[in-house]
Structure 1
Amino acid sequence: MTTPSDSKTVDPITLQVISGALHSIAEQMGSVLYRMSYSSIIRESQDLGAGLFDTRFNTLCESDSTPMHIGSLPGYLRGIEKSIPFDAWKPGDCAIHNHPYFGASHSPDIAIVMPVFFDGDLVGFAANTAHHVDIGSATPGLIIDVPDVFAEGMLLNGVKLYEEGKRNEALWKYIRDNTRVPDLVMGDLEAQIASAELGVRRFGELLASYGKSTVLTACDQLMDYSEAMLRREIAKIPDGEYTAEGFLDDDGRNRGKTLPVKVTVRVAGDGVEVDLTGSSPQVPTAFNVPFEGSTKVACYFIFRALLLDTYTNHEHIPQNEGSFRPVKVTAPEGTIFNPIMPAAAEARFCQIQRVADLVIKALAPVLPDKVTAGNSATLSFAAYSGVRPSGDYWVFLEVNEAAMGGRPRSDGPDTVEELMRNTRNNPLEDLGMHLPLICDRYEVRDDVMPGAGKFRGGCGVVKSQRFLTPGFMTHESDRHEDVPWGIFGGGPGSVGALTIHNAGAPADVHHHPAKFSGLRVEAGDVATYISPGGGGYGDPLERDPGKVLDDLLDDFITVEHAHDVYGVVFDAVDDGYGFTVNGAATVARRAALSAER
């Protein structure tokens, strides 16, 4: 094993070249993984992460993928170390790992890790994670209402899938025999292995080109630089304690019992702590969050997103371990964000989305030019499944879009993967070619108005999937109760919904809770997901009347809503559009609304 590099510094030009090479390697790893994979959740949605790591488990570089994956890999490596010490690694080894109580983000996110040797020394690791379609859990694809972590499916705790280049055939067979869709899972594992092999080879080439000492010293400098950049931005926030609270609908079993989420952000100098004390105790279902692999990663992500956004910083800031160092995360054991083994913890994404959203809310008074209004801050993760006439299972995982809150200088984006998700939608053509599902509706939500504001909240999405055969559905989501907030005078957004009806009886609509497990459905049943919409930013009376007209013409709002909320008055005209803004009447109406306040 190598020791940390010495104090010698690398010149700026070489440093920049090595930085670019590292990022390129991570991107190549991610590209190999999603291009070679079989399941749509990886191949299309790109629910994955890849990167290189040193022997202290620092992230040296990461692919531009889902933040949840790449930020969790150091936790995977620390968990694997408990099973595979450094002196047990050999060239050609490959470890597989997904245990949520040993660093994994959650059990369906399986990591593949390979050691990188140079001149006989272990210098680091190439690793990736990807969300697998089915790991043999109690319900196909996803799980929520299960009693413990053992019901989540296969738990692979730092075991070698390859030893010195030779595959462990017994383990390979075990994995194949314990998933409902072996062709997809094994194909995806092969893609992960190819991705890690590429990382090992490219990292070795980089070390050979510039020398081990130079590359490792450069990595240390790049991490120190990213840390310094984040600390610089944190130091601009006034010292203090900032708090925000919300709640989650339920745990997937005990309906009507909401789960509090409390976030306290403590800023002291150039460091920050996110304290989740006061949040719900752990629950008896899988609606808990692995602390190392998910809770901490959510907090790292939100500060990097708020303060080091690529499009708001003039400097290029490498994505590496340095951006994690200034952030401390606290969550008492036995709570929803730090459960105690053997509590199940597979359905954990809605909770960390809400943590990210509440950090934004807490810091809004001191970062008004960087925050958003309330975002959808949830996840619609649906598992559709069934059994073919051959007796084989089909399983499809789908991540549905939502919306962001209004922003300091622009409206909240409509129908996007907001906050921590960063996954792509699945092409409907791909769905229709391979599965007995038909998408009947996929459009912008039109049953409510967007959150009003100087910059309005984003509109949510509506998606309806129709089963062509009998099957099963599990849905992991939230925010049917807690409305995304408006900010600085903006109006609230809207909560989500999920309904199921049969195409043969469209008027007989059944409303379902946000999360449920293993629901039996029949041919013709249509599941419709309606996402929450974002809140508004700023006073609606300050919104550009031209933008209000645009919203009217896009059918996002009505004439009455524009008059009552935005104080904008329209005249009907015969110009192909139907309306134009009456400037004088709008000034008068806004003055009247302002006086009423």
Structure 2
Amino acid sequence: MSTIDDVTLAVIQNGLQQVCNEMDLAFQRAAFSPTISETMDRSDGIYHRDTGDLIAQGEWGMPIFVGCMQFSTQAALAYIQERGIEVRPGDVFMFNDPYMGGTHVMDVKFLRPFFYKGQIFAWFSNTGHWPDCGGMVPSGFSSTATEIEQEGLRLPPVKIFKEDEIDEEILSIVLSNVRVSEERIGDIKAQIGALTIGDRRLTELLDRYGADTVDSAMAEFRTRAAQLMRARIGTIPDGTYEGEAFVDSDGIDDRPLRIHVTMRKTGTELHFDLSQSSPPCAGPMNSVLATTKSAIYLAVKHIFPDVPINAGTFEPIHIADPDGTFLYAEYPRPVSGCAAEVSQRVCEAVFDALVKAVPDLCWAAPAGTVGNLSLGGRDPRRDRHYVMYNLSGGGYGGSLYGDGMSNGCSTTGNAATAPVEVLEQYYPILFEHYRLHERSGGPGKRRGGLGVNYRVRLRGGNAKLSFIMDHGRSGPLGAAGGADGAVNRIVLSYKDGRQYIPRHLSKDQGISMTEGDSVEVWTPGGGGYGNPLERDPASVTRDVFLEYYTIEDAAKDYGVVIDPESGTADLAGTAALRAQMMKERAASA
């Protein structure tokens, strides 16, 4: 039992959270690349001095990094200890090896010891998505990579800063192996600056309450998070539940990859087994273990959002290592698609299992793709090279309580789409439109949210286009009788009128573009929840008025008859059509 009063505990907990939040903001505001400064693809946290366990993380950090940064910190500490590397105040380690508790090589981690009165009290760590780390194609999202070296420079933990002085030799190696190096040095300094802010703020907190009190409070936070998570898990009926999801392809072999989850709930514990998933694949859709586990943690956290985030949150969740599947990538398997795409399919499979157990707490599948699209070339206006990395939103799944949100962020992230005006200033491109993907939300009593549709035209020079997306083969799953959402689509249009549709639907790389060519993307809509024939006709009529769907869709998917002249629902005609449709469905079943 904690001897610290609850008021002091609350103040310290909020103080630790504030330290991380300030690191997030400092990182974002100082970063050079729009991927971090506008999209906010980054995270900051505090970790235990001995175990590397998560203590606190910024509220605006990427959710998939919650588990991954704990795994990467633990791996880095083991690396440092095994090699007897001396650690001094002002040292900062940089690394991005996916197999060391990471995601993909573009997510670069910095790790700094926090000293208080001459002793290491904790570790600060942050992750920033660099738009490029070298590799076959600008951005590193190579859809045809068959080994990790083709995805970019891979670094073990190395001291980029030694006692607050940058190591120019390490820096020169890094900058010599990435594109647009002048932008990377800005991001490096932004990451360092965020950690420095954390050092100052945590020192102030310890000066105020004392190291022993804060240390005891952190242990109490972990205990209480574990207790609350167990209490929430206890509300799930005991039993075994199964779910599955599919990745379109691995970018090499045009066949889907299966993710199969068996979830066993006993008492206040959850056990997950992924062993029936597809074997390792040739292309970059393998997932490292840290990302696979983090995706499951994140999926459960979606169901119980009130549980605070620290290492205790994960204690009641047990995941068997999925050896022999593509969800347990080992060197030299390529993994660029794991964090952005495969992790979302893992979440989707977990949701598919959970919706059978707690349908009132779950929802239909969301769009489930980051929509990674990159363009790299030379800007003739500024006479310099560039790498543009863009991500986009999609529809959320409907739930018992309402329709899914349109143009929401990815399942495993909270990154925002960069403002098109900013991207047009940075790069030689023009967004010709950016709008909702009409008719994309899956029909249901509560329909899925809509994805987005945008077209980008190259304004000057030559460029290489690459993308790794998903849900191009099948749309996000509906739930409780709802229909699936619409699929992802990509079309490249050349200025001479020719069009190119990728063979792998949602994945391709190194496509040449010249001035006047354009690429158009349609992201998936969320799955529908519940029987579409039970949807309120007034809601269907409103959706038609907003041009989310057509009058024909209203009749075909919802059994709602709308008068084209008045735009109102014919209730008698609707009742008759729905009765006929229910009769036909019963007969076919």
> Please, which of 337, 347, 356 is the counterpart of residue 356 of structure 1?
347
Alignment of structure 1 residues 79-478 onto 2, 5 Å: 79-85=75-81, 88-142=86-140, 143-255=142-254, 257-292=255-290, 294-307=291-304, 309-310=305-306, 317-348=307-338, 349-389=340-380, 392-446=384-438, 448=439, 450-468=441-459, 469-478=461-470
Aligned-pair Cα RMSD in Å = 1.8
The 3 A distance-change label for structure 1 pair 285 and 588 is closer
> Please, which of 568, 574, 577 is the counterpart of residue 586 of structure 1?
574
| SS of 1:96 mapped into structure 2 | strand
Instruction: Determine whether 1:560 maps to 2:555.
Output: no
| SS of 2:80 mapped into structure 1 | coil
CA–CA separation in structure 1 for the residues paired with 2:174 and 2:546: 50
Q: Structure 2 counterpart of 1:93, which letter?
A: D
Q: Structure 2 counterpart of 1:340, which letter?
A: E
Asked if 1 retains the 8 angstrom alpha-carbon contact of 2:47 and 2:73, the reply is no
Q: Which residue of 2 aligns with 1:49?
A: 43
Q: Which residue of 2 aligns with 1:32?
A: 26
The 3 A distance-change label for structure 1 pair 218 and 34 is same
Q: Deviations over 1:452-500 (max 9, x none)?
A: 1110111111111111221101101121112322222212222111111
The 3 A distance-change label for structure 1 pair 149 and 235 is same
| SS of 1:517 mapped into structure 2 | strand
Q: Which residue of 1 aligns with 2:507?
A: 515
Q: Deviations over 1:138-183 (max 9, x none)?
A: 2111223223222222222111111222221111121122211111
CA–CA separation in structure 1 for the residues paired with 2:144 and 2:555: 46
Asked if 2 retains the 8 angstrom alpha-carbon contact of 1:403 and 1:459, the reply is yes
Q: Deviations over 1:555-584 (max 9, x none)?
A: 1222232233323233355xxxx4123334
Question: How many residue pairs end up in the alignment?
Answer: 575
| SS of 1:24 mapped into structure 2 | helix
Instruction: Determine whether 1:60 maps to 2:22.
Output: no
| SS of 2:223 mapped into structure 1 | helix
Unaligned stretches of 5+ residues in structure 2 = none
The 3 A distance-change label for structure 1 pair 474 and 582 is same
Q: Deviations over 1:296-320 (max 9, x none)?
A: 111111111112x24xxxxxx4322
Asked if 1 retains the 8 angstrom alpha-carbon contact of 2:243 and 2:261, the reply is yes
| SS of 1:209 mapped into structure 2 | helix
| SS of 2:103 mapped into structure 1 | coil
Q: Structure 2 counterpart of 1:196, which letter?
A: L
Asked if 1 retains the 8 angstrom alpha-carbon contact of 2:244 and 2:350, the reply is no
CA–CA separation in structure 1 for the residues paired with 2:383 and 2:66: 36
CA–CA separation in structure 1 for the residues paired with 2:33 and 2:440: 36
Deviation at 1:435, TM superposition (A): 0.7
Q: Which residue of 2 aligns with 1:314?
A: none
Deviation at 1:360, TM superposition (A): 0.6
Q: Which residue of 2 aligns with 1:4?
A: none
Q: Which residue of 2 aligns with 1:548?
A: 540
The 3 A distance-change label for structure 1 pair 595 and 148 is closer
Q: Which residue of 2 aligns with 1:313?
A: none
Alignment of structure 1 residues 470-509 onto 2, 5 Å: 470-505=462-497, 508-509=498-499
CA–CA separation in structure 2 for the residues paired with 1:478 and 1:138: 21
Asked if 1 retains the 8 angstrom alpha-carbon contact of 2:398 and 2:447, the reply is yes
What is the TM-score normalised by the length of structure 2? 0.94
| SS of 1:422 mapped into structure 2 | coil
Q: Structure 2 counterpart of 1:368, which letter?
A: P
Asked if 1 retains the 8 angstrom alpha-carbon contact of 2:134 and 2:177, the reply is yes
Q: Deviations over 1:324-353 (max 9, x none)?
A: 221122243342111121212122121110
Asked if 2 retains the 8 angstrom alpha-carbon contact of 1:83 and 1:159, the reply is no
What is the TM-score normalised by the length of structure 1? 0.93
| SS of 1:354 mapped into structure 2 | helix
CA–CA separation in structure 2 for the residues paired with 1:563 and 1:333: 48
CA–CA separation in structure 1 for the residues paired with 2:553 and 2:331: 51
Instruction: Determine whether 1:11 maps to 2:8.
Output: no
Q: Deviations over 1:72-108 (max 9, x none)?
A: 1111212212332287221111111111111122211
CA–CA separation in structure 1 for the residues paired with 2:251 and 2:440: 29
Asked if 1 retains the 8 angstrom alpha-carbon contact of 2:53 and 2:74, the reply is no
Q: Structure 1 counterpart of 2:330, which letter?
A: I
| SS of 2:356 mapped into structure 1 | coil
CA–CA separation in structure 2 for the residues paired with 1:80 and 1:572: 64
Asked if 2 retains the 8 angstrom alpha-carbon contact of 1:127 and 1:196, the reply is yes
Q: Structure 1 counterpart of 2:35, which letter?
A: I
Asked if 2 retains the 8 angstrom alpha-carbon contact of 1:9 and 1:221, the reply is no
Asked if 2 retains the 8 angstrom alpha-carbon contact of 1:69 and 1:130, the reply is no
CA–CA separation in structure 2 for the residues paired with 1:334 and 1:362: 22
Q: Which residue of 2 aligns with 1:528?
A: 520
Asked if 1 retains the 8 angstrom alpha-carbon contact of 2:371 and 2:391, the reply is yes
Q: Deviations over 1:342-388 (max 9, x none)?
A: 21212212111011011111111221111111222223101111024
CA–CA separation in structure 2 for the residues paired with 1:427 and 1:87: 43
Asked if 2 retains the 8 angstrom alpha-carbon contact of 1:63 and 1:70, the reply is no
CA–CA separation in structure 2 for the residues paired with 1:286 and 1:487: 29
Q: Structure 2 counterpart of 1:62, which letter?
A: Q
Q: Structure 2 counterpart of 1:182, which letter?
A: S
Asked if 1 retains the 8 angstrom alpha-carbon contact of 2:244 and 2:348, the reply is no
Deviation at 1:237, TM superposition (A): 1.1
CA–CA separation in structure 1 for the residues paired with 2:285 and 2:481: 34
Q: Deviations over 1:180-226 (max 9, x none)?
A: 11111110110000001111121121111101111011111111111
Deviation at 1:8, TM superposition (A): 5.1
CA–CA separation in structure 2 for the residues paired with 1:564 and 1:516: 35
| SS of 1:247 mapped into structure 2 | strand
